[in-house]
Amino acid sequence: MLHTSHYSRLMALFILFIGLLPYSLLKHSANAHAQGAVQSPIDPVIPTLIYRQRYNDAITRLEQMLEREPQNAEALTYMATANLYQNLEFTKAQREFEEAFKAGGGATFFVTHSHEEFTTDDIADYCRGFFHLRRDWLEFVSVDGTHTLKVSFSELKEFKQNRLSRKAFHIKFGGKSQNFQGRSNTELEVLLIIALYKSFTGNLK
């Protein structure tokens, strides 16, 4: 009698385990999918709208993306960019870019790239484009020329505000300096870019 009762309990536990197994596997699969989900690429129209200073239109498209994918890293990044240039609230922009970085994105700015050394705020020879800061690298992509560059942070020798023109900054790698000026043409944008670079790289000096 005791043997039968013990056997019955074992069978009941086994049946319960088998019954819960599909749910457990399904839950694990769903979690794995959520953690490694492939995010939709950014709509290529959005950078064009920001370039053309149509910030409201860009924000509307980004809001639609974020409704579907609240943690889409690139959508969060470009939302911070559009908000920055629409409102020029630099402290808020820093928070939004850092949140985008935590999600796997970073910071994106629209800049003028000087093809000559900065000695004043006037630039004669230049191209314009997007300056991207991400986890391990930075990139400049021209929208009105063919000039692009992509550099890992480990390759950089310098990333600083310019001394002669405080509204500009430069990066130095491969023995050369590249000079940039943010769209807002303010020192605050330069300080924001440098602060984010230091935050992303952990170089807080």
pLDDT, tens digit (0-9, with 9 covering 90-100), for 147-190: 899 999 999 999 999 998 899 999 999 999 999 999 999 999 99
Q: Are 55 and 85 in contact (CB under 8 A)?
A: yes
- Average pLDDT in the chain: 84
**How far from each other are the two terminal CA atoms of the chain, in whole angstroms?**
77
Do the domain assignments include residue 73? yes
Alpha carbon distances (Å) from 139 to 20, 38, 44, 156: 49, 22, 17, 12
| Residue 55 and residue 140 in one domain | no
Residue 115 included in any domain? yes
Q: What is residue 120's predicted lDDT score, i.e. its pLDDT?
A: 53
112 & 97 share domain = no
Range of the structural domain that residue 88 is part of:
41-105
> Is 100 in the same domain as 111?
no
State which residues of the chain have pLDDT below 70: 1-37, 116-125, 203-205
Q: Tell whether 116 and 191 lie within a shared domain.
A: yes
pLDDT of residue 117: 64
Tokens of 60: 């509307």
pTM for the whole thing? 0.79
Q: How many domains does the chain divide into?
A: 2
> What pLDDT is attached to residue 162?
95
pLDDT at 5: 55
Instruction: Give a yes or no: residue 4 inside a domain.
Output: no
- Interatomic CA distance for residues 201 and 47, integer angstroms: 25
**Residue 27 domain flag:** no
Say which CATH number the domain at 79 has. 1.25.40.10
Q: What pLDDT does residue 187 have?
A: 97
Pair (172, 86) in one structural domain: no
Backbone angles phi and psi of 14, in degrees to 5: -65, -45
| Euclidean distance between CA atoms 113 and 70, whole angstroms | 33
Amino acid occupying residue 65: M
